[in-house]
Structure 1
Amino acid sequence: MIDKPLSGRKAQAARNDKLILEAAKEVFVADPEAPIADVAKRAGVGISALYRRYPSKEDLLRKLCGDGLARYTELVREAVDAEGDPWEAFREFLRKVVVADTPSITVRLAGTFTPTPDMFAAATAADEFNRALLARVKDAGVLRGDVENGDLAMITESISSISLGDAERTRELRLRMLELYLEALRAPGAGPLPGSPASDDELGARWVPKTE
């Protein structure tokens, strides 16, 4: 079945929505406390057009973060289901996460809005896929046995903090750093890791909205 083209008004609304979300990512990743008016300005749309689509800043943040979480879940599910070399599936998954920059969209915005029950459910599903992926590469003997879910979160967050030069240069540097991390992640490892990985409670606490 061929989708019918959108009418002029609906097509414009769709274009505006794309511009708003792209602008929101740029604005709020740089400064989560920025006013929503900065998003409208960056997107080149009127504030009234933005509010018709997203009645509040929290609504916009939830949409932005929800989309990032959905993309991450899609990528980790693909890695779990991928055929062939488990290590290459794991490596490609992390590369795609770095390129998609999902940690910036999700973790950077944690605590700036109240998550919905649907978002908690989606995060739980993503976590289950994470654990399935880790189990797969460990069972294959290619991932060091003391690496846990919280370690991956810290690695991707660390990489997402790199910002140097333009977008292309930043992406190049992030992928380079990822390869260094991958070398450290491969079994058997040079020795036991110190301390303990970030726990579910520690990671989840960041999603509690901040209060004055």
Structure 2
Amino acid sequence: MTDKPLSGRKAQAARNDKLILEAAQEVFVADPEAPIAEVAKRAGVGISALYRRYPSKEDLVRKLCSDGLARYTELVREALEDEGDPWEAFRAFMRGVVSADTPSITVKLAGTFTPTPDMFEAGVAADALNRALIVKLRDAGVLREEVENGDLALVTESIASINLGSGERTRELRLRALELYLEALRAPGAAPLPGTAPSEEEMGARWVPKNVKE
């Protein structure tokens, strides 16, 4: 049984939503302070159409981050459930994260909005999957023992800072850099790692809105 095609109006709304979210990621990753009108302009939709779907910039940013988290969760679950070569599954997972560019959303937009309880729950679930994947990789003897969840986040976030030339050239350079990091992550490692991995508290603190005072 196939899904019924959307009606003309619903199909247009779906297309507009896709254009808005794609434009929002481009605009806000480049400049988190950009006005929401810039997103409408980049998406090629009227500002009224955007506001009907997202009444405020915070609503739009929240949706963008929620979708990014959902995509990340999908990727880590695929790696965890992969029954093939553990290292190749991990490599595919890391490449998927870099290609989806979800780390850029975290780096640029964490702390700019108030996450919903559902988002916090989704984050906890993703964290549990991350930790399970690390255990699987360690048990297989392919990931160096010192590597923790926070280390992987910092690796992908560091790679997200690469932005040279065209979009395709940037993607190529990011994937090249990833291969260098993967060699450092693979067991047994050439030398012990200095210091300790970032804690869950350190990583989570970034999501507290910056205008919230203790």
Q: CA deviation at 1:106?
A: 2.9
Could you tell me whether the CA contact under 8 Å between 1:138 and 1:144 is conserved in 2? yes
Q: Deviations over 1:72-93 (max 9, x none)?
A: 0000000000012111111110
1:25 and 2:25 correspond = yes
Residue 33 of structure 1: CA displacement? 0.9
CA distance in 1, matches of 2:210, 2:183: 37
* Counterpart for residue 38 of structure 2: 38
Q: Is the 8 A contact 1:150 1:200 kept in 2?
A: yes
2:134 is aligned with 1:134: yes
C-alpha distance in structure 1 between counterparts of 2:88 and 2:162, whole Å: 24
Report percent identity of matched pairs: 81
1:7-86 pair list within 5 angstroms: 7-86=7-86
Q: State yes or no: 1:159 paired with 2:156.
A: no
Deviations 1:34-55 (A, max 9, x none): 1101101111111111000000
* SS of 2:207 mapped into structure 1: coil
User: Contact (CA 8 Å) 1:69, 1:106: kept in 2 or not?
Assistant: no
* SS of residue in 2 equivalent to 1:33: coil
Letter in 2 for 1:27: V
Structure-2-length-normalised TM-score: 0.97
Q: Which residue of 2 aligns with 1:185?
A: 185
Q: What is the CA-CA distance between 1:11 and the residue it aligns to?
A: 1.2
Give ranges in structure 1 of 5+ residues lacking alignment: none
Offset, 1:210? 0.9
For the pair 1:107 / 2:111, whether they are aligned, the reply is: no
CA RMSD of aligned residues (A): 0.9
Gaps of 5+ in 2: none
Paired residues in the alignment total 212
3-state DSSP of counterpart to 1:13: helix
TM-score (norm 1): 0.98
